[in-house]
Structure 1
Amino acid sequence: MTEILNIKHGKIVGVHTSVFTIFNQEKYDPKAIPAAWQEFFAKSAGSDLSKAGTFYGASIPSMSMDAPMDYFAGALVDLDAEVSAGFENIEIPDGAYLAVPHVGPITNIAASYQSAYMEALGASGKEMRPAPHLEIYNPALNPMADDYQMIIGIPIN
């Protein structure tokens, strides 16, 4: 079941990587995003970032299947928060997101992405707006569990 989430203006501070979209299976590297998260957790250990109750993946889609997208793994903080050495950030504007749940092991997320963009977005009657696309994670949950839940956030008007 989808819902609308309003995300406040801030920035995601974390680790940046470039990766081809999951829809480009020929060039997609399934290890790139997990590696970014491992690097984020290693670098943020003991910091305020590691204590966030929610973690965010933010992607800036490429307009070409031949170019990788930018992906940030991290925590959402206030816009004026300081960015520590070794981290990068991306601004997240105020706005609405279509929240599409993914249930099941994170390794099965491709089907949820396809459903989110090919079915749920159209059924919502909303249009995408230019903003980072989000993944919203609860760090207390096991991403490999059959009952794991996270949110795919599509920026909408």
Structure 2
Amino acid sequence: MSLRRGIGLGLTLAFILSGCYPGTKPMTKIGLVAPFTGFDEAVGYSVLYSAKLALQERNSRGGVSGYMVELVALDDRNQADLAVQRAQMMALDADIMGVIGHYENAAALAASEEYHRAGLTYLAVSATADELTRRGYPEVFRL
């Protein structure tokens, strides 16, 4: 084996094994669904950048309860039918512990049905429809 190949193999092995080191913090994910295209895209990106900044600060301090947190962001264009599809996509990822977002009431109401069905925690941060919490779904919250 050549020296170059041996060093490459050693570095590759070290890189792979570094992920197995007991000091490596486990990861979890938080979902964010907002309008990143269309009329309200500025609002969606404002929420996205705020969430990224908050998670960056939190992760730099050790994460949440020993977990580093990754943000998964999807565009619902403020459309109820697309919001349902995005909620279903979030529910399929077993590492996602909860979802925030859905700017418009119609999108939030439609998506909340899917989060309830999947048992996935959902926090409506801007949708204000009383019906979101009046239905009594234990997974659905609003600010």
The bucket for the TM-score relative to the shorter chain is under 0.3
Tell me which protein shows more helix as a share of its residues.
2
Tell me which protein shows more strand as a share of its residues.
1
Taking structure 1 as the reference length, the TM-score comes to 0.26
Instruction: Choose 1 or 2 for highest CA Rg.
Output: 2
The answer to which structure, 1 or 2, has the higher relative contact order (CA under 8 A, 6+ apart) is 1
